[in-house]
Amino acid sequence: MKDLGKATNEKDRILKAVSHDMRSPVNASLALIELIEADKDRLNKEQQDYLQLLRESSNSALSLTKDLLEVATLSSETISKQQTEIGGLVTAVTGLLRFKAAEKQQKIELQMLPALLICNVDKEKITRVINNLVNNAIKFSPQGATIFVNLEKKNDEIELSVKDNGIGIPDSIKDKVFDIFTEAKRFGTSGEQPYGLGLSISKQIVEAHGGRIWFRSEDGVGTTFHVALPL
pLDDT tops 90 at residue 227: yes
Bridge partner list, 152: 159
The pTM of this model reads 0.72
**How many beta carbons lie within 10 A of that of residue 91, not counting itself?**
15
Using left for φ > 0, alpha for ψ between -120 and 50, and beta otherwise, residue 47 falls in alpha
Of 181, 178, 226, the C-alpha closest to 204 is 178
Backbone φ and ψ of 67, nearest 5°: -65, -40
In the three-class reduction of DSSP (H, G, I as helix; E, B as strand; rest coil), residue 2 is classed as: helix
C-alpha 15/C-alpha 37 separation (Å) is 32
Tens digit of each residue's pLDDT (9 = 90 or more) over 85-127: 999 999 999 998 998 899 899 999 999 877 788 889 989 889 9
Q: Which residue has the higher pLDDT, 25 or 161?
A: 161
Of 150, 140, 120, the C-alpha closest to 184 is 140
Tell me what pLDDT residue 214 has.
95
- Mean pLDDT taken over the chain: 80
Mean pLDDT within 55-82: 69
C-alpha 209/C-alpha 108 separation (Å) is 26
